[in-house]
Amino acid sequence: MHEMSVAMEVCRLAEERLSPAELPQLITVGLDVGDDSGLEPDNLLFCLEALLAAPPFRNARPDLTRCPGDVLRVTYLELDDDRPDD
> From CA 53, how far away is CA 71, in angstroms rounded?
25
> From CA 67, how far away is CA 61, in angstroms rounded?
19
**Which amino acid, one-letter code, is at 5?**
S
CB 28 to other proteins: min, Å: 8
Q: Which stretch binds other proteins (CB under 8 A): 4-12, 45-53, 57-65?
A: 4-12
Please report whether residue 82 would count as binding other proteins according to CB under 8 A: yes
7-21 core/surface letters (b: 16 or more CB in 10 A; e: else): beebbeebeeebeee
**Which amino acid, one-letter code, is at 29?**
V
Site track for other proteins across 8-47, x = CB under 8 A: -xx-xx---x---------x--xx----xxx---------
For other proteins, the binding residues (CB under 8 A) are 1-2, 4-6, 9-10, 12-13, 17, 27, 30-31, 36-38, 71-83
